[in-house]
Amino acid sequence: MKEKTLTIVNQIEQLEEMAKTLEALSDEWNIPMDIMLSLNLVLEELVTNIIFYGYKDKDEHKIIIRFSFDDKIIQIQIEDDAIEFNPLLASEPDIDESIENRKIGGLGIHFVRKLTNSIAYERTNNKNILTLTKNIA
């Protein structure tokens, strides 16, 4: 199994480092470009939400992203000490509703669900741990 851990802080500028890391892993692990782009979208959505909505203070907080790759499956685990948030409990947005009448929010989690094969959440030691799995083949 191949593994890589990236630790960033809760600053929006860190998304660039995350994208660069994912691109490098894509090359190193021979992950197809379309998969890499969808995973980047998923990570950007999740980490942006952590940065903007997860903390009640302005302090620096670590966000740990663990990547692993084995047998055509990539797994990404995001760990943070933000307020408790289980995205699996978020309701599905009504994507058939007109834009004018649609409730704000929820589309990001919708895309995360659609672009991954499985999602698991746990809250351990006051930390959110979200594990995403994506089949490569």
Give the whole-angstrom CA distance, residue 84 versus residue 54.
8
Query: Considering Cα of 89, then 8, then 43, then 98, what sign does the dihedral take?
Result: positive
Whether residue 82 is predicted with pLDDT greater than 90 in this model: the reply is yes
CB 107 within 8 A of CB 87: no
H-state helical runs in 12-116? 14-29, 33-53, 107-115
H-helix segments, 54-123: 107-115
pLDDT of residue 113: 87
Q: Is the pLDDT of residue 93 over 70?
A: no
**pTM (2 d.p.):** 0.88
> pLDDT digit string (tens) for 7-24?
999 999 999 999 999 999
- Domain of residue 88 covers 2-135
Q: What is the number of domains present in the chain?
A: 1
* pLDDT on residue 56: 94
pLDDT (tens digit, 9 = 90+) per residue, 24-66?
A: 999 999 999 999 999 999 999 999 999 999 999 999 999 999 9
User: d(Cα 135, Cα 117) in Å, to the nearest integer?
Assistant: 7
Within 8 A by CB and 6+ apart from 125, the residues are none
List C-alpha distances in Å: 112 to 43, 78, 88, 109.
8, 13, 10, 5
* Average pLDDT across the chain, whole number: 89
Mapping DSSP to helix (H, G, I), strand (E, B) and coil, where does residue 11 land? coil
| pLDDT over 70 (residue 104) | no
Asked if 55 and 128 touch (Cβ cutoff 8 Å), the reply is no
| Mean pLDDT of the region 125-136 | 97
Query: In this structure, what CATH number is given to the domain that contains residue 129?
Result: 3.30.565.10
